[in-house]
Chains A and B, each alone.
Chain A
Amino acid sequence: MWARARQWWNKVASYLVLGAVAAPFLTMYVSFFLRAFGKRMYLGVVPKEFGFANFQFLWRPIAWGLEQTTVWTALGNTVFFAVTSALAVTIICMLAGYALSRIEFRGKNFFLVLQLFLHAVPGQILLIAIFFLLFYIKLLHKIPGVALARASLEIPLGIWMAKGFFDGIPWDVERSAMIDGCTRFQVWYRVFLPLVKPGIAAVFIWGFLFAWHDFIYVYTLLPGTIKLMSTLIQSLLATEVIDYGYLAALSLIYMIPPLLLFVFLQRALLRVPVFGGKGV
């Protein structure tokens, strides 16, 4: 009897503790949703009415200062930016990761350590150099150019991630493929890439998320007339009268694409191949 009560109390206690820790975050999310869908807030927190009034921007232009755009243009720009950046990260990391995992060359370890070091460098301090670089190769103020610059920040750690995935594939599988007639590139393309699909998905999502949420590169290297979601929200914050409901609704739209990406890539993320035999 006592043991039962004790067990019950242990359970309750752990929920209480977890609840307390989660409370601030939960409150934030709840108030975020309440604001997005609420109207005429009571005490600034509790909405008196629910509705989609805050979502009017979905079919009306969004204006700030003297300029205007639509949420669809901004979303389109952000998707273009994030996908370009994520593709660059994925392709470069998959190639470099394979090479670093399988090919011996001079300076390989130095290169690997250098990548870690580069990852530790904050992206902001590179901004000026990147500004001039993009200027000279005529990609400044263009979404693909800035996306590539943004990708370079994620590549160092991405290379390590990709190398880790390739390291998990037994040497014998690679040798089999070569015996079967593959060139190095064919080994990579026909055998290794299908085997690290979850890794490809992970690197892509990772590159996508960082680019999706980027502000400083987009803000500095793109002209004010090209708005991405992050810079659009910033310009709305910079106006004199801030409509929080409107901002919350816009932010909600900003959150949806990454969530969709997770849902679509979930299958790939979870499919891990099984290697047979021993001595792998």
Chain B
Amino acid sequence: MMRISLHNLSKYFGDVKAVDELTLQIQEGEFVALLGPSGCGKTTTLLTIAGFYRPTKGEVRFSDRVVNDLPPRERNIGMVFQSYALYPHMRVFDNITFPLKIKKVPKKHWGTKATEVAKLLEIADLMDRVPGQLSGGQQQRVALARSLVKEPDLLLLDEPLSNLDAKLRITMRAELKRLQKDLGITTIFVTHDQVEAMTMADRIALLEGGRLQQVGSPEELYDLPATLFVAGFIGTPPMNFVEVSLEEVEGRLFVTTEHFRFPLSNGIAQKVHRMATSREVVLGVRPEDITIGQGKIEGEVYVVEPLGRDTLVTLRIGALGFKVLAPPRFRVAIGERVQLAFSMERIQLFDKATERSLLL
């Protein structure tokens, strides 16, 4: 079991700053997701932690020991790659026991250890096949078995679910989360899928362009996104954004646009007072925080998309588009004019220039 800390970790490839000044603490037994869009530096971070890349700047520490110069084989890490990277010329059994063979574990222990992990991952009956004869899901479990058989201190997973079909992905999401909790191995999980990160991780570190945007529990990232980017990245359908200005009338703060105007609640107004440096701000409202049928703001129904569990309604307020999650079987006609209200305690406000939240 191990604590990991990244301290100002940077990895540059020539001019490309793949990872830039990343500082992150990971506790013993914690399940952390590295989340971000393609090319944001997730894999690079993982490979640097594993020891394949030497940090350009900064440090990787395993339980207080700086390991910048420790080769991968001495780090006792288990890793599952996006492509699974099984050894195509070896049977499943030989794939799983390969780390034991290299570590010179006596041969008589291989059988029991392999059977143990194989049982855990339900691949015991695949032992004699070669990887070419396995489905994607089976390959993934073999790769996981291979990484677990050496009882690693740290497990690194690089988009392990992205090659699976949608249904299997949902099953494996739960399985993997349960497995991690049962084994208690500190785990870093890379994904570009925010749902995967939200559902599985204890904490999420959201990266963009090599920089850490925010780290926190899934709820923290969802309820109080630190930047415009985080707000837009987390949640489906995504948060609605409108450029608005702040106005102070008789000691009350108002949000105004051409089309609507409303006062901020006291709690939010206090924070904004403290943080705001300009009147130009961006308002963010999640689709589920808008109610149709009450309130003073008026809009027109643009399109209605039934999703089964709820209904996605797109509204127009002047030139602005809003996505709203309405109850299932909610019926309105296209073109109909409706009233709507925002849940005042759940709105987000960001500085337009710095794109940072005004509510932190």
Contact = CB atoms under 8 A, between A and B. Distances in A.
Nearest to B131: A276
Interface in A184-212: 186, 190-191, 194-195
Nearest to A176: B85
Interface in B90-130: 98-99, 102-103
B163 A180 contact: no
A69 B98 CA distance: 53
B99 A277 contact: no
A201 to B, nearest CB: 14
A170 interface: yes
Contacts of A182: 73, 102
B280 to A, nearest CB: 42
Given A175-B81, A276-B84, A276-B132, A194 B72 contact: no
A190 B89 CA distance: 11
Interface string A244-280: 0000000000000000000000000000011111111
A172 interface: yes
A184 to B, nearest CB: 9
B68 interface: no
A interface bracket (residues with beta carbon within 8 Å of B): 20 to 34
Given A183-B73, A276-B131, A277-B136, A172 B89 contact: no
Given A276-B132, A276-B134, A277-B139, A173 B71 contact: no
B88 A180 contact: no
A181 B163 contact: no
A179 interface: yes
B78 interface: yes
Contacts of A277: 82-85, 136, 139, 163
A176 B79 contact: yes
Interface residues of B, number: 31
Contacts of B302: none
A63 interface: no
A194 B98 CA distance: 14
Given A175-B72, A195-B89, A279 B146 contact: no
B295 to A, nearest CB: 48
Nearest to A275: B88
B52 A274 contact: no
A178 interface: yes
Contacts of A280: 83
B78 A179 contact: yes
A95 to B, nearest CB: 20
Contacts of B84: 172, 276-277
Interface string A157-186: 000000000000010110111111111001
Contacts of A275: 83, 88
B100 to A, nearest CB: 9
Contact of A175 (B78, B85, B89, B139): B85
Interface string B45-63: 0010010100000000000
22 contacts: A172-B82, A172-B83, A172-B84, A175-B47, A175-B52, A176-B87, A176-B146, A177-B98, A178-B52, A180-B73, A180-B99, A180-B150, A181-B99, A181-B103, A182-B102, A195-B87, A273-B89, A274-B131, A276-B83, A276-B134, A277-B84, A279-B163
Interface of B: 47, 50, 52, 71-73, 77-79, 81-89, 98-99, 102-103, 131-132, 134, 136, 139, 146-147, 150, 163
Given A172-B84, A176-B146, A183-B73, 8 more contacts: A175-B52, A178-B52, A179-B78, A181-B150, A275-B88, A276-B84, A276-B88, A278-B163
Nearest first, the 4 A-B pairs at minimum CB distance are A172-B85, A277-B83, A181-B102, A180-B99
